[in-house]
Homo-oligomer: A and B are copies of this chain.
Amino acid sequence: MSINKNEIPYKIYLTEEELPKQWYNVRADMKIKPAPLLNPGTGQPMTAEELEAVFCKELVKQELDEDTPYIDIPQEIQDFYKMYRPSPLVRAYCLEKKLGTPAKIYYKFEGNNTSGSHKLNSAIAQAYYAKEQGLKGVTTETGAGQWGTALSMASAYLGLDCKVYMVKVSYEQKPFRREVMRTYGASVTPSPSETTNVGREILAKFPGTTGSLGCAISEAVEDAVTHEGYRYVLGSVLNQVLLHQSVIGLETKAAMDKYGIKPDVIIGCAGGGSNLGGLISPFMGEKLRGEADYQIIAVEPASCPSFTRGTYAYDFCDTGHVCPLAKMYTLGSEFIPSPNHAGGLRFHGMSSTLSELYHQGLMEARAVEQTSVFEAVQEFARVEGILPAPESGHAIKVAMDEAKKCIETGEEKTILFGLTGTGYFDMYAYGTYNDGTMSDYIPTDEELAASIANLPKVK
């Protein structure tokens, strides 16, 4: 007798004809828009011209567009998407059975591509617009390594040069990530490095630092603005990234609609917000337009708790303070998570769009400790057959918690979560968990107060 007793398959794949042809821009449906990026010198909103010194022209247009709800996906990007999309929407029959829950659990699995995550959705878009603009190459940062890999792949496909600054702790824990990027022709530098002014300054100020996304961003931006024909691209936080990542939510919603499924709870991990923002976009759109209601939960690591313990204020996106100011939930741009933190989700801030939605009470947030994440992940891996990235594990942990609550209440909730990627390059972290040497770290109130003390003054 099959576990699958009803008509919903284990995996729902849209056909290629059913794939989204437009991205959805959730800002268009927000009555109160996300606060604009500010020029740290003048305190005024960044103009398109100012942003174009750092970012590609078309991406700046997308970054500033808060009115157009749907934006066409260029055909070449649609073609690239077909190499690894649609991603499956999976019904977690085996997990439900293992937990003995009446809940119905679904996850959108974005790990079946070589970058190992959803990052490729925005990487190909950003590389495409760089190529269209006639640029030589792009620079970026990477933390856990998925974004750098994704950008390497997209750049190789389009024949662009790609320079990646990789957070030092990840560079050391994940030597093989570097080889994947090199196989795709990218150059990879551990950050902070001696190759940039900002890197040298950070090294002088914090010798022995294991790096942070904030540092690596500063270095990548400096590299781009000091080299002719290069622009900087970013894998999270920005509005344009959430726009591209809306393909996750659009596919999910189309697949659910096809089978008449409506989620009660939607859960995603949140570092800078790219996956969560992408997954929830069309659902949040319905919520903003008053057409439907959903419980939406952002899950972050207890060691880097920007939503749950941060401040909603203007702050720098980077440690070196070369970037514009963004209004967001932040722990302070000098915050660097403990090196014992294994997963990604290491960014001190959060997408301005998600920050504003959270501020308006349209979504909630939870912080979870990494040993509890790995415990959930191991249980999940053994029944669902997927070895998740630690980042994704944060969403899995809370989805399993919610499903367990349904055992007590008897509710047959439909739970949807984003499984952003695979953990094949995270086996160092898995090893510490397997060895029983993994520990948790929660910053003290004093530490957070210190890191938030120097927020920039905004007129």
In the complex, which residues of chain B have a beta carbon less than 8 angstroms from the beta carbon of A79?
2-4
Residues of chain A in range 136-163 having any CB-CB distance to chain B below 8 Å: 153, 156-157
**Residue A132 at the chain B interface, CB threshold 8 Å:** no
Q: Contact between B10 and A434 (Cβ–Cβ < 8 Å)?
A: no
**Residue A382 at the chain B interface, CB threshold 8 Å:** yes
**CA separation between A384 and B182, bound complex, in Å?**
16
Number of residues of chain A lying within 8 A (CB) of chain B:
50
**CA separation between A180 and B430, bound complex, in Å?**
8
Cross-chain contact of A427 among B9, B176, B387 (Cβ < 8 A): B176
In the complex, which residues of chain B have a beta carbon less than 8 angstroms from the beta carbon of A82?
4, 9-11
The chain B residue sitting closest to A91, CB to CB, is B82
**CA separation between A114 and B430, bound complex, in Å?**
14
Q: Contact between A153 and B434 (Cβ–Cβ < 8 Å)?
A: no
- A66 to B: closest C-beta gap in Å: 31
**CA separation between A9 and B18, bound complex, in Å?**
12
In the complex, which residues of chain B have a beta carbon less than 8 angstroms from the beta carbon of A112?
112
**Residue A39 at the chain B interface, CB threshold 8 Å:** no
**Residue A36 at the chain B interface, CB threshold 8 Å:** no
Quick one: given A2-B79, A9-B82, A112-B112, are A179 and B431 in contact (CB under 8 Å)? yes
- A276 to B: closest C-beta gap in Å: 24
**Residue A183 at the chain B interface, CB threshold 8 Å:** yes
Q: Contact between B4 and A84 (Cβ–Cβ < 8 Å)?
A: no
**CA separation between A175 and B94, bound complex, in Å?**
29
**CA separation between A431 and B179, bound complex, in Å?**
6
**CA separation between A427 and B120, bound complex, in Å?**
20
Cβ contacts A409-440/B at 8 Å (1 or 0 each): 00000000000001011011011001000000
Q: Contact between B83 and A385 (Cβ–Cβ < 8 Å)?
A: yes
Q: Contact between A434 and B182 (Cβ–Cβ < 8 Å)?
A: yes
In the complex, which residues of chain B have a beta carbon less than 8 angstroms from the beta carbon of A425?
176, 424
The chain B residue sitting closest to A153, CB to CB, is B385
Cross-chain contact of A387 among B180, B378, B384, B385 (Cβ < 8 A): B180
- A315 to B: closest C-beta gap in Å: 36
Cross-chain contact of A16 among B10, B385, B387 (Cβ < 8 A): B10
Cross-chain contact of A184 among B4, B381, B424 (Cβ < 8 A): B381
Cross-chain contact of A157 among B114, B184, B383 (Cβ < 8 A): B383
In the complex, which residues of chain B have a beta carbon less than 8 angstroms from the beta carbon of A384?
83
In the complex, which residues of chain B have a beta carbon less than 8 angstroms from the beta carbon of A185?
382
Q: Contact between A114 and B422 (Cβ–Cβ < 8 Å)?
A: yes
**Residue A32 at the chain B interface, CB threshold 8 Å:** no
Cross-chain contact of A183 among B116, B176, B383, B430 (Cβ < 8 A): B430
**CA separation between A113 and B422, bound complex, in Å?**
10
Q: Contact between B94 and A83 (Cβ–Cβ < 8 Å)?
A: yes
The chain B residue sitting closest to A385, CB to CB, is B83
In the complex, which residues of chain B have a beta carbon less than 8 angstroms from the beta carbon of A365?
none
In the complex, which residues of chain B have a beta carbon less than 8 angstroms from the beta carbon of A94?
83, 157
In the complex, which residues of chain B have a beta carbon less than 8 angstroms from the beta carbon of A1?
75
**Residue A209 at the chain B interface, CB threshold 8 Å:** no
Q: Contact between A381 and B157 (Cβ–Cβ < 8 Å)?
A: no
In the complex, which residues of chain B have a beta carbon less than 8 angstroms from the beta carbon of A383?
157
- A61 to B: closest C-beta gap in Å: 24
Q: Contact between A114 and B385 (Cβ–Cβ < 8 Å)?
A: yes
- A402 to B: closest C-beta gap in Å: 22
Q: Contact between A381 and B16 (Cβ–Cβ < 8 Å)?
A: no
Q: Contact between B183 and A387 (Cβ–Cβ < 8 Å)?
A: yes
Cβ contacts A64-92/B at 8 Å (1 or 0 each): 00000000000100111011100000000
Q: Contact between A179 and B434 (Cβ–Cβ < 8 Å)?
A: yes
**Additional A-B contacts beyond A83-B384, A184-B382 (16; CB < 8 A):** A2-B78, A4-B82, A9-B15, A10-B16, A10-B82, A84-B385, A112-B112, A113-B386, A114-B381, A114-B385, A120-B385, A176-B425, A176-B431, A180-B387, A183-B381, A183-B430
A and B contact pairs by CB, cutoff 8 A, 19 listed: A2-B78, A2-B79, A4-B79, A80-B385, A83-B384, A83-B385, A112-B112, A113-B385, A114-B386, A114-B387, A153-B385, A157-B382, A157-B383, A179-B428, A180-B387, A180-B430, A182-B430, A183-B434, A184-B381
